[in-house]
Amino acid sequence: MTEAGRDKGGLAAHDWAGDAGARWLAQLDRFESMIEPLGQALLAQAGYAPGERVVDVGCGGGWTTRQIAAAVGDSGLALGLDISPDLVAAASDRAQRAGLAQIRFEQGDAATAMPVEAPFDRLFSRFGLMFFPQPYPAFANLRRMLRDGGRLDIATWAPIAENPWQRSVMSIIGAHIDLPAPEPRAPGPFALGEQDYVTDLLQSAGFTGIAFDTWSGNLRVGGPGSDPASAAQFVLDGMQIGDLIGSSSAEAHAAILGSLVELFERHSDGDGVRMGAKAWLVNARA
């Protein structure tokens, strides 16, 4: 779920090759379990078959790549591509311990990288394409990774207004510190929330037959089993939005943490903190 980029709306840099990738790695299992339902939905949409050759862009710790490798079997190939060397190393280790054949991980920026195995039959990305500083040439490069007639399956977050799990957190932070005005389509988690924009990116890159499905459900903030306090700490320590309060006073930090705990207490049940989320599941043909 990671790629390179910088948020031009005044937020902290999405330095996935450095600090952001290391932060994701430190919370890897919690991140993976939190967004696993969306990964499962996108994998079900893609419906991989034995023998297919698939590139997983922004693969993070490689959970989705391992699922793809199991689906395509020994006659296929699953290549995980991520800009973070830390995450690539972790993903490679986990795949080796799982004993999977025909799986490989490569460090590289998907905006310009071209794995030697290209062109692929399929391209997959679960929240890995929202951070490109120059998205139009980046999506053109994604198209070049696919053979003619190949298929793309990607997940992107719907607008933040339709994602209470982030909207509520941002509202709390904004009540305690001044936030920069958001810049529409700037690199960041919600850069690809507008369907018309995603369609234009894909069409400009040469994709056709573009279709959107909607995933709507609940996320377990911090992963299943997180209590309100640990979920709040996870948000501030593990997620990019925690950078927003990095230079704030100790008093503001404590107030934000306390307000997050209160928010998550209202959304807590026997299996952790549950909050609403919405994403687009997109497919297209090269």
* Rounded Cα–Cα distance for residues 100 and 48 (Å): 16
| pLDDT confidence of residue 24 | 64
The predicted model scores a pTM of: 0.91
Burial 115-136 (b: 16+ CB within 10 A, else e): beeebbbbbbbbbbbbbbeebe
Partners of 213 in the beta sheet? 281
Question: How does pLDDT run across 112-146, given as a tens digit for each residue?
Answer: 999 999 999 999 999 999 999 999 999 999 999 99
Question: How does pLDDT run across 253-281, given as a tens digit for each residue?
Answer: 899 999 999 999 999 999 999 999 999 99
* Tokens standing for residue 209: 């037959």
The percentage of the chain sitting over the pLDDT mark of 70, rounded to a whole number, equals 91
| pLDDT confidence of residue 27 | 75
* Rounded Cα–Cα distance for residues 132 and 282 (Å): 18
> How many C-beta atoms surround the C-beta of residue 176 within 10 A?
18
E strand or H helix that includes residue 141 = helix 135-144
CATH numbers and ranges of domains, the chain: 19-159+183-217+279-285 (3.40.50.150)
